Amino acid sequence: MHLPHNNSGIVALLLILFVSLAKALEKPGTGEPEPLKYTPGDQISVQCLNRTIDTGEHVQDEKTGVLQYIPFATCNETGRPLEVKFLEDGEVNCTIPFLSDEMFHLFEFYVHHDSPLACRVPVRPLGGERDLEKKSDEEYVPLVFALAGKLETSHIHLATNMNVLFHLTSPTSGVIDSGAAYSISPMSSDLTRIIIGDPLLLRLKVHWFHTLSPLSAKSNGEHVTVHLLGYCLLSAFAGACGVYTFLVGWEFPKRLRKYAFDRRGGGGGAGGIIGNFGNGVGAGGRVGYGYAPGVGGRGDGGGYGYSGKRKD
């Protein structure tokens, strides 16, 4: 008995299974587009809090009351406000070509820490579809520049060499979690003296940590590589010492004793290189002497003997 073939039903069943599998493998969610992520080399703009020259207080937007952020000062090297490249370590120079009176007094506030140079960077690339109802500070992480220096009556001594550090949420997330910036060597004599109208060169040493912890194995590849290499060399040396101790203290003496035992004839069963002499008393009171020339430490030999006469 043959059952009728229904090809259309089989095709429909396979199609349903395929669609179900695709839905099962689809990332759970509400169907919203996946958030954007940074890729290595992406330019990240730095925005800073706008402040008044009189008191250093922050400026709020008149309509929304939200704190007003403006782009960092324009750098002479690029002709653009300060930017850093995602996941690219190195030095970024930013020369402010002219310190206006307003900017000079703002730097006085920054150095005195009454009003810090509070900036921010986007957590993700600013593009694509975004929820406009969300607060803007949810899409940024703070980046405060802790400038150090000495205030004088007519000028400022400023530590212009700075470290700028960023952390990611995970090595492959493409999302910035946090950041910090601070002057280095503020107590040294190598400070930059600035007055109104001078150019100001900021040397920023940028470093990216791939995880939240600076001690993570992926946060500093060079540090881990050196320690891993040292561990491998130490392990190899310890293994070599163990093998040497085993061979010299156990294996070689054992083999030498065995070799010497074999050379001596193994307790009389084998001859020397030239031969062995032997004597013995045989059955019936016969005394025999023999000489056995050996080849390779072993050999066959003959001998003669005599029997003693019994004396009454």
Looking at the domain assignment, is residue 303 inside a domain?
Answer: no
* 190 shares a domain with 231: no
The whole domain housing 229 covers 220-269
Looking at the domain assignment, is residue 308 inside a domain?
Answer: no
Q: Measure the CA–CA gap between 143 and 84, rounded to whole angstroms.
A: 12
For residue 303, is pLDDT > 70?
Answer: no
Q: What does the pLDDT read at residue 126?
A: 83
Beta-sheet strand order (sheet of 176-183): 69-71, 47-49, 117-122, 140-146, 176-183, 161-168, 200-209, 90-96
Q: What does the pLDDT read at residue 172?
A: 87
Q: What does the pLDDT read at residue 277?
A: 43
Q: What does the pLDDT read at residue 252?
A: 74
Looking at the domain assignment, is residue 285 inside a domain?
Answer: no
Q: What does the pLDDT read at residue 264?
A: 75
The model's pLDDT over 28-50, given as tens digits with 9 standing for 90+, comes to 455 556 788 999 999 999 999 99
Q: What does the pLDDT read at residue 138?
A: 62
The model's pLDDT over 78-99, given as tens digits with 9 standing for 90+, comes to 999 999 999 999 999 999 999 9
For residue 70, the Cα-to-chain-centroid distance in whole angstroms is 36
* 260 shares a domain with 113: no
- Alpha-helical (H) ranges within 26-112 are 101-112
Number of domains in the chain: 2
For residue 166, the Cα-to-chain-centroid distance in whole angstroms is 16
Q: Please give the torsion angle defined by the CA atoms of residues 177, 70, 108 and 147, in that order, rounded to the nearest 10 degrees.
A: 20
Q: Measure the CA–CA gap between 253 and 56, rounded to whole angstroms.
A: 85
Q: Measure the CA–CA gap between 109 and 147, rounded to whole angstroms.
A: 10
* 262 shares a domain with 152: no
Looking at the domain assignment, is residue 118 inside a domain?
Answer: yes
The model's pLDDT over 217-251, given as tens digits with 9 standing for 90+, comes to 444 444 456 566 776 887 887 888 777 777 777 77
Q: Measure the CA–CA gap between 78 and 83, rounded to whole angstroms.
A: 9
Looking at the domain assignment, is residue 147 inside a domain?
Answer: yes
E strand or H helix at 165, and its extent? strand 161-168
Query: 140-144, 145-149, 273-277 — which is least confidently predicted?
Result: 273-277
Q: What does the pLDDT read at residue 269?
A: 44
**Strand 200-209 vs strand 192-194: parallel, antiparallel, or unpaired?**
unpaired
* 239 shares a domain with 204: no
Looking at the domain assignment, is residue 201 inside a domain?
Answer: yes
Task: Yes or no: say if 36 and 173 are a contact pair by the CB < 8 Å rule.
Answer: no
* 119 shares a domain with 77: yes
* 118 shares a domain with 95: yes
